[in-house]
Amino acid sequence: MTDRVAGAELARRLYEEHLAAVLPMPHAAAHLGWGSDVLGFDDARSTDHGFGPRLTVLVDADQVAAAADAIEAALPDDVAGWPTRFGWDDVPVTHHVQVGELGEWLAGRIGFDAREPIATIDWLLTPQQRLLEVTAGAVFHDDGRLGPVREALRWYPPDVWLWLLASQWRRIAQEESFAGRAAEVGDELGSRVITARLARDVMRLCFLLERRYAPYAKWLGSAFAKLDAARDVGPALDAALAAGSWAERENGLVAAYEAAARRFDGLGIAEPIDPSTHAYYTRPFRVIGGDRIVEACVARIEDPALRTLPAIGGIDQIVDSTDALDLSRRSAFAALYRGL
């Protein structure tokens, strides 16, 4: 059995030991794109399909064919025992090296060319996982074309960040009293489901608070565990999700809300807020009152078009269907951001 080697290490060996010497043209070579290995979460389970020494090589448009030919000629059968070509089910056999021009590659990964000024609507229509596919992953060689793009995409502009924060707090505000209300009428299953939804929203809020893109669902918890917020928000959410009664669930959620609110307040990007929870009107449920934090965020946004939009958020705050988040559907959602 082939010993497992991390995908990033396989990519490095492929480039440095086999391909660097046959690419005389200016280029960038990196471990980018789809896959758990780009995020650093690959393990033995990841190797059952499509796994191997994957590499993205970016050259000038007029050098794509030459680079591809040079790579094909020099490509070894395997790296550390892992094949450089793959195929499964109805996927044809091909190799793990993608060669292209940067602008075209960016259009395929995120839907726009980030070498140009990035429009607000492009930020909002691009799933965070897609932004990770460009900004995460190791770079083995760069002639200067890839670094500026990764830096430009490293995080949202201030106004967009504030609006996404506002939108995430809005999601919490919309349902924060529902788990208690469901439990009050004996709907324990419904209460647990809403608690889980709120826990996920708080987790995604923490990524925004720490200026980190959230990965897709499979790795959300693994990536959350690496956040600083995992120290105080994480145990509170664990308690809420493991609780057997509404009172225990509420205690966990309240602790998570207050910890997240303190972290938000500590950023100093809005007017100070009271991070404590309070009763929901006259009902016996404690809430953070997310709408007041929404207002604090929006008050600091300078872009008048963004300030007047409903706080619906970026594309992956609105939908979480993988098919809907495919870049080919971008135009279908553009109308949500009319005026930008």
Three-state DSSP state, 28 = strand
Neighbours of 138 (CB within 10 A): 16
Cα 285 from Cα 180, distance rounded (Å): 6
Of 127, 128, 253, nearest to 202 by C-alpha is 253
* Residue 31 contacts residue 12 (beta carbons within 8 Å): yes
Three-state DSSP state, 252 = helix
Domain residue limits, the chain:
7-152, 158-337
Three-state DSSP state, 55 = strand
289-292-297-303 Cα dihedral, nearest 10 degrees:
130
For 83, which DSSP code? E
> What six digits make up the tokens of 320?
């979480």
Cα 339 from Cα 316, distance rounded (Å): 20
For the chain, 340 residues long, give each residue's pLDDT as a single digit of tens: 466 789 999 999 999 999 999 999 999 999 999 889 999 998 888 888 778 899 999 999 999 999 999 999 999 999 999 888 875 555 444 568 999 999 999 999 999 999 999 999 999 999 999 999 999 999 999 999 999 999 999 999 999 999 999 999 999 999 999 999 999 999 999 999 999 999 999 999 999 999 999 999 999 999 999 999 999 999 999 999 999 999 999 999 999 999 999 999 999 999 999 999 999 999 999 999 999 999 999 999 999 999 999 999 999 999 989 888 888 888 889 999 988 8
Cα 211 from Cα 49, distance rounded (Å): 32
Q: Which runs of E-coded beta strand occur in the chain? A: 28-30, 55-58, 78-79, 82-83, 85-86, 94-95, 97-100, 139-142, 278-280, 283-287
* Residue 22 contacts residue 70 (beta carbons within 8 Å): yes
For 18, which DSSP code? I
Cα 237 from Cα 156, distance rounded (Å): 27
The chain-wide mean pLDDT, for the chain, equals 94
Note the pTM of the prediction, 2 decimals. 0.94
Q: How does DSSP assign 91-124, residue by residue?
A: PPPEESEEEE-HHHHHHHHHSS-TTSPPPHHHHH
Token pair 């279908």 is found at: 332
What pLDDT digit, counting tens, does each position of 77-91 carry? 999 998 888 755 554
CA atoms within 13 A on the CB side of 329: 13
* Residue 137 contacts residue 129 (beta carbons within 8 Å): no
Neighbours of 90 (CB within 10 A): 5
Q: Quote the Cα angle for 38-41-46, to 5°.
A: 90
CA atoms within 13 A on the CB side of 249: 26
> What six digits make up the tokens of 70?
């040079």
First to last CA, the chain: 54
